[in-house]
Structure 1
């Protein structure tokens, strides 16, 4: 005989009922906000409000502060709507007290959604990976705020969601916030961080050049302005010198250096990901020759002087484009012939002038890779450094080379935790989390907006 199926334990049933009861006010808050945006015709925000309850199923610790911030913002939406309607009714001489009571009650219910997330049952529900909660929730919120600001301030539809589905850019912003939280969680995991960095970097490059290919194929909506520019990093510096204008990419580059030092070269450069993949073909990187740094200085000076000379001589732009294209193709050749053979990112560490600018300017900021004084120079970190920044001399001096881009692969390889991120007087853990937060937000924002 088949034994009778036992009923679920009373404690489990009680927990389920308590969880459903605690989730009811937050769900109601989302539905009320969806109704508000439906009335105003903002279908993108309707979709966002209806999608928010889906976060209840993630059960990650970062979800709770994110939802609390969303409900606090929703409460503000209701308060502002109430004030606008009250002012309108006062102007036209209509009664407004009942309206104020109704919308005030709705605002309180929405705010209560944030308070209910403080209950014990929901704290227990959203309790997975609490050590990464602050970084992940910060990555979500900062990404959403940055993209919402860009969407509001830029005069043209900067988000693809708005270009193809007008009004639905808000849904793309929500998706990018979720992506940023997911990436931040991967990077805070020491075992998965190196692979996660390589994949997110390559993913950005594929999306960047994929959109370029679609734009060249005639889909102009994939281009930011409709005007094409060569995707050669050297033009970030040389382009404004030759043209005397077009400082957008230069300002963007300097902004990233201001936030994360030289990490542009290991997380955000659309070309650097190729060089990284080429270098990975050789398991153990070789040592760069002694003439590498003088050659790097010479190439930097040559590119800047060439751009200035082309401007002073009023050379036609077709010649400038041809030279820039030739320089870019030469860089690809270096990746294929040298980086692939030596296991070192020769293009980024010797050939690219932007790389030199990033590591030099990065030294002006407090971001550092710190090597503890008790380092025994075992060399495990050097075997994964593709930038030639951890040679024996660097380890002996307890100071990484100038070519260090804060990729962090060495930190996770050190078995005794003798390598760490450092930022001013912050602890290694806090510095690492701050760096992950900033680089994740920059990556997500670039992925959503950085197009040719």
Structure 2
């Protein structure tokens, strides 16, 4: 593999023969964007030029895609300009030669990157190059499409504060998605990275909300405030009969990742996760007030908690629909929703922190129940293989009340499993695995990690109140 080559065996002229053509091609594309007045696109091409200067294998693949797209752009633009000049009887040969030259430069740069010299020049992380490149392209592509399709609102914050800078934010979001994918692709690193990335998402979400309340109204999605209570994702539309943006985001994530909304994307769930980890932190420090129990890991919830969860979800959604049909004032409904949200925070602080279990997410949150139920539509499944030794390592890290001795014997977790995959990273015997019909567990793991990274990056850039 190119990544195993010693420095002395790598081609010394790779920078001049591989990187310089890329820099020239991206510089010409940036210059065209500047000439057109699109400085955001010019900055985006500048980021691509920077990626082509790195030794990252995934950056090579992304640069190849960008150069190929740039070549097609030059070819299409050249044809249009030549046709225009021919239609008006103007000289077009010199223009055609110039456009053919810049098109040829872009394709030549692509060719050099695609060859052995390009692979040796970009030699770092070849084992995860394709998944991370796909994460970049999917995240950037989805944000570009969303920016083009949302005419009623300015979706990206960069466009709100610096009009025209959207392309730069999109490319940077793609770079971020590739970085996140690199973390989530490693089972061991993913166990530590997931809660931190999740906490970052929650901090950005609520930070924008706080600044919006303090007067920075451009940080709000529509300028109209909505309570950040997860139950309102469904209860709000049931009450109002409209307002489906967050519900659509929730539905898309469930269709793509199953119940992983509750372990990767829920802006409140990160709080419950942090509270549930306080018990372990206090135990390590010898803190007082930590309820001792036999064994390791979170304290399982009683079976009646599962029934309570479904009854609570049915009650909340039925009440929202009934209040809407009965014409209950918005202020009264908002007060009820706010009190419900505060009750959820109390559950986190009072129960999750003491049991080491995410009690709010597994026994209180109505949207968690919806996510677990609808998540069965998605093809992802967590399975316990025959290599399980019942060592209990997975039980020590499961905070969703999804694993116990009975579930290990059955070979599958409970419905409350959110595919956080912490158990897979903790299993030293390779018994825990994520499955997807038609592919190996290794491929399933990579596909899930890429989708999780893409949704995280996209939601981080668009999910606001």
TM class, shorter-length: over 0.9
- CA–CA distance in structure 1, aligned partners of residues 10 and 265 of structure 2: 49
| Aligned twin of 1:301 | 314
Alpha-carbon distance in structure 1 between the residues aligned to 2:125 and 2:191: 19
The secondary structure found in structure 1 opposite 2:381 is strand
Q: Which residue of structure 2 aligns with residue 5 of structure 1? A: none
8 Å CA contact retained: 2:55, 2:121 = yes
1:145 maps onto 2:141 in alignment: yes
Partner of 1:171: 168
- Answer yes or no: is the 8 Å Cα contact 2:14–2:121 preserved in 1: no
**Which residue is 2:423 aligned to?**
410
Deviates more, 1:129-138 or 1:53-62: 53-62
Matches within 5 A, 1:335-354: 335-354=348-367
Residue deviations 1:132-191 (CA, integer Å, cap 9, x gap): 111100101111101111111111321111111111111111111111111111111222
Describe the shift of the 1:326–1:251 C-alpha distance in structure 2 as closer, same or farther (beyond 3 A).
Answer: same
Aligned to 2:412: 399
Q: Does 1:69 align with 2:65?
A: yes
Is the 1:19–1:122 Cα contact (8 Å) retained in structure 2?
no
- 8 Å contact from structure 1 (residues 15, 121) kept in 2: yes
Deviates more, 1:332-341 or 1:146-155: 146-155
Cα gap change, 1:331/1:91 in structure 2, threshold over 3 Å: closer, same or farther?
same
1:325 aligns with 2:338: yes
Q: Which residue of 1 aligns with 2:183?
A: 186
2:245 aligned partner:
248
Q: Secondary structure at the match of 1:421?
A: strand
| TM-score, normalised via structure 2 length | 0.92
Q: Is the Cα–Cα contact under 8 Å of residues 31 and 50 in structure 1 kept in the other structure?
A: yes
Q: Is the 8 A contact 1:212 1:223 kept in 2?
A: yes
Secondary structure of 2:57's aligned partner: coil
Structure 1 position 21 matched with structure 2 position 17 = yes
**Matches of 2:231 and 2:255, distance apart in 1:** 19
Q: Is the 8 A contact 2:435 2:441 kept in 1?
A: yes
**Matches of 1:141 and 1:36, distance apart in 2:** 22
- Whole-Å separation in 2 of the counterparts to 1:176 and 1:14: 31
Which of 220, 223, 226 pairs up with 1:226? 223
Map 1:29-428 → 2, pairs under 5 A: 29-155=25-151, 156-283=153-280, 284-428=297-441
Q: For the residues of structure 1 that align with 2:18 and 2:123, how far apart are their CA atoms? A: 15
CA offsets 1:14-62 (integer angstroms, 9 cap, x no match): 9333432322211110111111111111111111222322213431211
SS across alignment from 1:420: strand
Cα distance, 1:93 vs structure 2: 2.5
- CA distance in 2 between partners of 1:87 and 1:345 (Å): 64
Structure 2: segments with no counterpart, 5+ residues: 1-6, 281-296
| CA distance, structure 2, for counterparts of residue 228 and residue 83 of structure 1 | 49
Give 1:68 deviation, angstroms: 0.1
Mapped partners of 2:178, 2:164: distance in 1: 24
C-alpha displacement at 1:13, in angstroms? Answer: 11
Deviation track 1:169-215 (CA, whole Å, cap 9, x = no partner) reads 11111111111111111111222111110111000000000000010
Give unpaired runs (5+ residues) of structure 1.
Answer: 1-10
Return the offset for 1:354.
Answer: 0.5
Task: State the alpha-carbon separation in 1 of the partners of residues 237 and 14 from structure 2.
Answer: 61
Which residue of the partner structure matches residue 3 of structure 1?
none
Asked whether the 8 Å contact 1:19–1:121 carries over to 2, the reply is: no
Give secondary structure in 2 for the equivalent of 1:157: coil
Deviation at 1:247, TM superposition (A): 1.5
TM-score normalised according to structure 1 size: 0.95
Quick one: distance in 2 between partners of 1:440 and 1:18? 32
Decide whether the 8 Å contact of 2:387 with 2:430 is kept in 1. Answer: no
